[in-house]
A and B are shown apart, each in its own frame.
Chain A
Amino acid sequence: MYIEIGHFALILAFAISISQAVLGLIYWRSGGRIAAFVKSAAIWQFVLVSISFAVLIIAFVKSDFSLLLAANNSFSLQPLIYKISSVWGNHEGSILLWVLILVMFGAAVAVFGRDIPNDLRTLVLSVQGILGASFIGFSLFTSNPFTRLNPAPFEGADLNPILQDIGLAIHPPLLYVGYVGFSVCFSFAIAALISGRVDAAWARWVRPWTVASWVFLTLGISMGSYWAYYELGWGGWWFWDPVENASLMPWLAGTALMHSAIVMEKRSALKIWTIFLAIITFSLSLLGAFLVRSGILTSVHAFASDPSRGLVLLALLALFIGGAFTLFAFRASSLRAGGLFAPISREGALVLNNLFLASATAAVLIGTLYPLVLDALTGARISVGAPFFDLTFSILMVPLLLVLPFGAFLNWKRSDFLSVTQRLAGVAALSLVVTIVVFILMGVKISLAPLGLFLGFWVSFGAIADLVYRAKFGRITFVKAFKRLFALPKSAWSMALAHFGMGILVLGVVLVSTGESENITSLKLGETAELAGYSVEFTKSEVLQGPNYLINHFEFDVKDKNGNIRHAVSEKRVYTASSMPTTEAAILTYGGVSQLYIAVGDADEVGNQVVRIWYKPYILLIWYGTIFMALAGFLSLSDRRKRIGVALTTKAKQAARNKQEA
């Protein structure tokens, strides 16, 4: 019975979202009462979808196999956390999670957007209503999670083994919050195009949503990368897999949007471009959802795909992207273009930032879609892999990272390039010296590594130097400067922190990809393999029984350069229900940043065990960097000056404006 309540709640939410979209779009000018209706409709939509999602969770936790979805994707012996995460480890459930987050953002706009003028908020919410109606409709009509099964089986069919991991509990929700959060920016852009009014205040309202979505997308991608690294057993952290690219594209576009919205807010420039980026970013999120859900790509993420629904998704995709760009084509010219500015200025540097980020997005997009297009047109089957992306992406990132510290040091409006260069000369010299030292310590090899290292140090030292300079260290007394440092606005801190994280990320990527080494070998019990100064002794091998899998259990003693011995356990699990193997690699961390990674393969024909050992120097810097970036985003969100409620105008002025409009 409770399952039907969830089903009914979803149908009710569908009806409400339609009325929200239709009434809002027709009567957005008519003020107070429609605005109040649309606002409460957005909130009720969220309440109802929450009820239906809660019902799914209850059914999975209770192992109620009269629900087809639970019978197909759950198992009564699973630990509680995996029972819950099984809800979104499949197509229907993950669509409902997507819908839940979509309506959550709609409700958030309704609740926190009190100071947005009524007409703009009504328009934004009605666009959210269209999105909500489409995706709730998609869920109800093509992927209904509430289908019943009669008679109910005694046991479920289990969840795909590699998804039975804490990573799955966290990764998709984070990623979805990021993807779907950009829907708010999309709705604001559409609302601006319809109403024809776009100004600095618009950018101020949009920016927090952009930053919030960006933070979650950053964390989601980072988490997914770490999950692939430790769970898939190949020691790789980024594969340029189409589905990874699908999440990287909105991240790149969203990063560009975050920066261009700053220019729009401070200088009232780049208006049309910012609106274009807002549309592009969410379109890329939708494209990502389509690529993953349609099963058009073979990938590790294809666990929940179904080609027959792909067409419906493609139609929705065409509707939203096509509709948005048609509107853009007709209305963009009616928006007043912003003023021109000097090339050597903060906004000039941000234009370069946008240019390179947009080019990088295009490179990833073309590389991802080219095989599909070529297959459709000529039937030729190709793969565009790491060599393509490594080349294009790194070439486009070099100028971006070179310009970055300049951008942070330049002033708005008009700036003096020479004085900024003088200030940054010290940073450049320091980065160069550190690069040379590290390069010599690592053992000199002719490659592009020094350039990458220099860029990493340049960006991270540049971020620190920015704070040091603003606090006036060296120009006033140390104590005063120290006080100034902590009195700096949060925006200065979050910018420096985000850029510092970017530098750390670059350092991690460069160091691990140039310094890593591997040893793939076969070992007898008691034998030792050597790698990068570590010796790995194979000490134990046994077969154990897990709750729903068989364990091939292997133990190793790892001796480092200083003779310290650490114990390592690596397992291979074979899940009994599906006879699928998974690898639980042994990962030892050294110095807080470098890792030794041991994964065990099959036994060969003479009974020796295949063992793969990787040494990954400084690999954790990659994820530390993303954590710094996410923290910077949270810091920026906590900045009172940028809170949605505290817009340009005071409450009184706003009230007067609303009254006038009404």
Chain B
Amino acid sequence: MTRKQKRLSVIAGLGLVIALAAVIIFTALSSKITFFYSPSELKESPVAIGQHFRVGGLVKENSWVKDGKTNNFIITDNESDVAVIYVEILPDLFREGQGVIAEGALNAKGVFIASNVLAKHDENYLPKEVVETLKDRGEWQHGAEENTDAVTEITETTEGTNY
């Protein structure tokens, strides 16, 4: 091989590795990300059954029913509701009327089967996405806003994906 051929083959090899890395990254990006929807967005543009996503809002008052290990509750943005089933122990600061994010998929009956539920440690906490949704819907009062800036931490129950 001449010097030039050698150089070209090295560059081609490096290019191939970079191209492969790019393919891996972008394939993973299209299949491994999780979308976030509010209950209203879910009503407007329904998500396919079995597709993994996150839904967030407030836990509706008087909606939490516990049957053995099974928790039934409703997530609301004060406009639309989503019924959620979660068969695990809920995080410590799960309360009716408080902000929450559930991760999972819809079943055939339109019930959200959660594999993971996130709630914040701070009593005043609302998840950032939930705040934005409520702001969009005009449900958000100012003044309460300062509290959310001070927030730090989400507890979680099953797998570590997010603080």
Contact = CB atoms under 8 A, between A and B. Distances in A.
Contacts of B156: 234
A299 B163 contact: yes
A241 interface: yes
A22 B54 CA distance: 52
A380 B92 contact: no
A234 B160 contact: yes
Interface string A154-194: 00000010100000000000000000000000000000000
Mostly helix, strand, loop or mixed at chain A's interface?
A: mixed
Interface in A598-647: 601-602, 604-605, 610, 612
A238 B162 CA distance: 10
A15 B28 CA distance: 49
Interface string A344-383: 0000000110011001001100110011000000001111
B153 A396 contact: no
A355 B149 contact: no
B21 A241 contact: no
Contacts of B21: 356, 359, 362-363, 396
B78 interface: no
A579 B151 CA distance: 13
Interface string B1-45: 001001100100110011001001100110011111000000000
B129 interface: yes
Contact of B161 (A299, A386, A395): A386
A580 B122 contact: yes
A383 B162 contact: yes
Contacts of A233: 155
A396 B25 CA distance: 10
A387 interface: yes
A295 B150 CA distance: 10
Given A340-B7, A382-B34, A388-B29, A359 B18 contact: yes
Interface string B91-103: 1100000000000
B92 to A, nearest CB: 5
A579 B125 CA distance: 13
B29 A367 contact: yes
B96 to A, nearest CB: 13
A113 interface: no
A522 interface: yes
A236 interface: yes
Contacts of A31: none
B121 A581 contact: yes
A380 B129 CA distance: 10
A605 B29 contact: no
Interface in A561-603: 579-581, 601-602
A643 B163 CA distance: 42
Contacts of A419: none
A521 B122 CA distance: 23
Contact of B3 (A340, A355, A382): A340
Contacts of B122: 580
B34 A383 contact: yes
For this complex, into which size category does the number of interface residues on chain A fall? 35 or more
Interface in B103-128: 121-123, 127-128
For this complex, into which size category does the number of interface residues on chain B fall? 35 or more
Interface in B131-163: 132, 149, 151-153, 155-157, 159-163
Contact of A162 (B54, B128, B153): B153
B153 A300 contact: yes
Contact of B36 (A241, A383, A579, A580): A383
A581 B125 CA distance: 13
Nearest to A359: B21
Contact of A232 (B151, B153, B157): B153
A610 B89 contact: yes
A355 B15 CA distance: 10
Contacts of B28: 387-388, 391-392
A581 B151 contact: no
A384 B32 contact: yes
23 contacts: A233-B155, A239-B163, A295-B149, A340-B10, A351-B14, A355-B14, A359-B17, A363-B24, A367-B25, A370-B29, A370-B33, A383-B36, A387-B32, A388-B28, A388-B33, A391-B32, A392-B25, A392-B28, A522-B89, A580-B121, A602-B92, A605-B66, A610-B89
Given A234-B160, A383-B161, 13 more contacts: A162-B153, A238-B160, A239-B161, A299-B163, A300-B152, A300-B163, A343-B10, A352-B17, A363-B24, A381-B132, A382-B33, A386-B161, A612-B89
Interface of A: 160, 162, 232-234, 236, 238-241, 295, 298-300, 302-303, 340, 343, 351-352, 355-356, 359, 362-363, 366-367, 370-371, 380-388, 391-392, 395-396, 520-522, 579-581, 601-602, 604-605, 610, 612
